Amino acid sequence: MGERQPVHIGMLTPSSNTVVEPMVANMLSELPEVSGLAGRLRVTEISMNENSQGQFDPEPMLDAGSLLSDARVDVMGWNGTSSSWLGFDLDRELCDAITDRFSMPATTAVLAVNEILEKLGCRRIAFITPYVEEIQSRILAQYRDAGFECAAERHTGEHVNYAFAEITEDAIAKLIREVMSDAPDAVVVMCTNMRAAGLANDLEKEFDVPIIDSLAAFVWKGLKLGRVDTKRVRGWGRIFSDV
């Protein structure tokens, strides 16, 4: 049997994110032909002020994508969650722009989360984020408008993007366990700079409820677009084996 062809997944990533690259490398460790390659754009704060929202304009993303395309990536996408509060259409438009400009399939973490929720038929969702109240409220409102019910929510009230990665796995697991008492169909951890992906496997066994981490969702969709069997990713939650 011949060697598999290399697949490079291009990830547009917030400049202050310290979780994406090492976590993705760990997820892909059993897929030697697949790599996650990151291009960064400046994102340091998550709030509703004008400067913060301007971080997510499409042109800086496409500029970063232009450099990332030099690595001849096979798939490209935004491995961030800004459209969860700014509007899903922004991610759809970004994906169209990436495909038009760089001639490759595109995705985002949020669109991947939404696709997984639809495929699993989950409607009552518990949302966990590190964000401030105003951001959290916008996320919940947007998902309600899309036909989902918020079964429960927890947020830690942080606005510094770098600090999201400092929330411990134990603290995240505690939040996930707390929302399970409200019987959600699924738990969504909405932030690609939180260390939640490695918790999914054990917590799903404990509660029999899907744990959909936004970073893991991006990897799942990137593999799908790269025509890689997601079942080869083991130990990172049921989305890779069941969706």
Same-domain status, 185 and 228:
no
For range 178-199, the mean pLDDT: 98
pLDDT at position 52 over 90: no
pLDDT at position 50: 79
Q: Same domain, yes or no, for 20 and 43?
A: yes
Report pLDDT digits (tens) over 223-240: 999 999 999 999 999 999
**Residue 137 in domain:** yes
Comparing 23 with 47, which gets the higher pLDDT? 23
**Looking at the domain assignment, is residue 1 inside a domain?**
no
CATH of the domain at 170: 3.40.50.1860
**Whether residues 117 and 23 fall in one domain:** no
**Over pLDDT 90: what percentage of the chain?**
94
Band of pLDDT at residue 2, cut at 50, 70 and 90: low
Q: Which residue has the higher pLDDT, 51 or 97?
A: 97
Residues of the domain holding 17:
7-109+215-242
What is the tally of structural domains in the chain?
2
Answer whether residue 1 shows pLDDT above 80.
no
Across 142-159, average pLDDT: 97
Residues 88 and 43 placed together within one structural domain of the fold: yes
* Residue that has been written with the tokens 């304009």 in this structure: 57
Q: Are residues 104 and 172 in the same domain?
A: no
Average pLDDT over residues 51-57: 83
2 is a domain residue: no
pLDDT above 60 for 146: yes
Instruction: Indicate whether 28 and 56 sit together in one domain.
Output: yes
- Select the more confidently predicted residue: 61 or 52: 61
Residue 3 banded pLDDT, cuts 50, 70, 90: confident
Average of per-residue pLDDT across 25-43:
97
